[in-house]
């Protein structure tokens, strides 16, 4: 059997180059990523507390105004923070101003807490119920205040 040295050298040369290109070097640094190709992670929604029923959201909001009418009272809220949602509840956008119906208007104690927060311009923790059919009837966002945290109106704004 005759060995052709020139073919053997070419075969070894291809094998060596192939191994060098397909096996990464230990000293090589990872390629830098192009900043335009990186994707920001999706926003994380707050976990739904177990005690919130479907269609209910708990938020921290700053009362902006209160409008009392014969049939119902409405207020404008600026959403500071979303504490949680019940299942299948529409999302509330942080930083947005929403017009909500005051479902607590009959409760004197809760209305006193709300009025105190409105006068002090301090955030208050509210429980809202979503009502899509109400949004079509009245000039609102479809949200109704159904509860106020008893301690939120008494806290100082620095907390």
Q: Any idea what DSSP says for residue 71?
A: S
Residue owning tokens 């104690």: 109
The DSSP bridge partners found for residue 81 are 60
Stated pTM of the model: 0.60
Nearest to 52 by CA among 152, 108, 126, 106: 126
Nearest to 78 by CA among 91, 66, 93, 95: 95
* Percent of the chain that is helix, strand, coil (3-state, to 5): 25, 30, 45
Given this model, what pLDDT does residue 106 score?
Answer: 76
Length of the chain as a residue count: 159
135: Cβ contacts below 8 Å, ≥ 6 apart: 141, 142
pLDDT along the chain (159 residues), means of 10: 75 76 60 63 61 90 89 90 89 92 83 90 93 57 86 49
Given this model, what pLDDT does residue 87 score?
Answer: 85
* Both tokens assigned to 60: 């921290």
Alpha-carbon distance 59 to 79, whole Å?
7
């Amino acid at each position: 059997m005759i060995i052709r040295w020139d073919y053997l050298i070419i075969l070894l040369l291809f094998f060596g180059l192939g191994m060098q290109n397909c096996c990464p070097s230990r000293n090589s640094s990872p390629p830098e990523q192009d900043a335009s190709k990186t994707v920001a992670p999706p926003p994380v929604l707050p976990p739904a507390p177990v005690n919130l029923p479907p269609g209910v959201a708990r938020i921290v909001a700053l009362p902006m105004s209160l409008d009392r009418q014969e049939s119902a009272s409405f207020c404008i809220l600026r959403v500071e923070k979303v504490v949680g949602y019940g299942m299948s509840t529409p999302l509330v956008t942080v930083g947005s101003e929403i017009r909500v119906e005051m479902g607590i208007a009959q409760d004197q104690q809760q209305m006193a807490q709300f009025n105190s927060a409105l006068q002090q311009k301090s955030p208050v923790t509210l429980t809202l119920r979503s009502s899509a059919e109400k949004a079509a009837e009245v000039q609102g966002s479809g949200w109704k205040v159904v509860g106020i945290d008893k301690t939120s109106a008494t806290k100082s704004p620095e907390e």
